Amino acid sequence: MKLAISDLLEILDLEVLEHNLFRGRSPQVGWQRVFGGQVIGQALVAATRTVEPQRSVHSLHAYFLLPGDPKVPIIYEVDRIRDGRSFTTRRVVAIQHGQAIFSMSASFHVHEPGLMHQVPMPNVPAPEELPSDEDIKARALPLMPDPVRAYFERERPIELRPVEFRRYMSREPMEPRFNVWIRATGRLPDDPAIHQCVLAYASDMTLLDTSLVAHGRTVFERTIQAASLDHALWFHRPFRADDWLLYSQDSPSAGDARGFSRGLIFSRHGELVASVAQEGLIRPRDDLA
């Protein structure tokens, strides 16, 4: 197993402190703040550990309140709101330095049969037809701006194969859509809850950046102050996060220094497995140019 995915599984394996109380740590990689997807994934782990295994999460709704400090642990406090006949509701608050930095509500549901439909998957090249991480590093990195190059040089637990890759090499405004194949870089345990928590982590990786496509900008620029403000995720069907998933994103609106983005996540066989929505801060800081 690659080191990055092994580290992610360790980060998601929270320490139990007390009934409904957990502690998580952050990777010590020199980041100035905690990655939002990490907090979502850890909060979902905390909530899941208080729910009987016959029920799986079907939705979560989260707010980022303060930047996380990667140098100190994060305490996750779970409130068992309701345990019903079919649904279970949990609220999780992440705490650092005595203050709430994140809050999340999650709902869990027993499996039951019902009506089914879904929209079709976009017609995009398969991941095998796109540049791999190695190809990107060999051919495209020299053409990228420094912040983007630094991002792709770093070992990550999630492999990305962007379809519209040229947006990283140009400041040309484009249609606000972004498709990227994603998967964990190593084999994951078979527990479906782990795959849901890993996807929750990955769902925050590229979504906010989609709101900048229409402006020819990226979150990697020092002249953009970017931060996730809220995040919603719905799980529709079983999946494996270590198989290729298409993350098809668009941004219907941006204004008042906030960008709104949506995402549909499909298995490579075309099943819609999850949906995502997020609003984030995309404040221009051209005074830093």
Among 228, 248, 249, 275, the active-site one is 228
Interatomic CA distance for residues 163 and 148, integer angstroms:
16
* CB 179 within 8 Å of CB 245: no
Q: Which amino acid is at 246?
A: L
Interatomic CA distance for residues 140 and 134, integer angstroms:
10
- CA neighbor of 44 nearest in space, from 191, 190, 202, 198: 198
Asked about 56 being catalytic, the answer comes back as no
How close are the terminal C-alpha atoms of the chain, in Å? 41
Among 204, 242, 261, 275, the active-site one is 204
* CB 124 within 8 Å of CB 179: yes
Strands (E) in the chain, as ranges, are: 15-18, 21-24, 55-64, 74-83, 87-96, 99-110, 158-162, 177-184, 224-235, 245-255, 258-267, 272-284
b/e map 148-162, b = 16+ CB within 10 Å = bbeebeeebbbbbbb
Asked about 242 being catalytic, the answer comes back as no
Rounded to 5 degrees, φ, ψ at 107 are: -120, 135
Interatomic CA distance for residues 231 and 227, integer angstroms:
11
Asked about 228 being catalytic, the answer comes back as yes
Q: Which residue numbers are catalytic?
A: 204, 228, 278
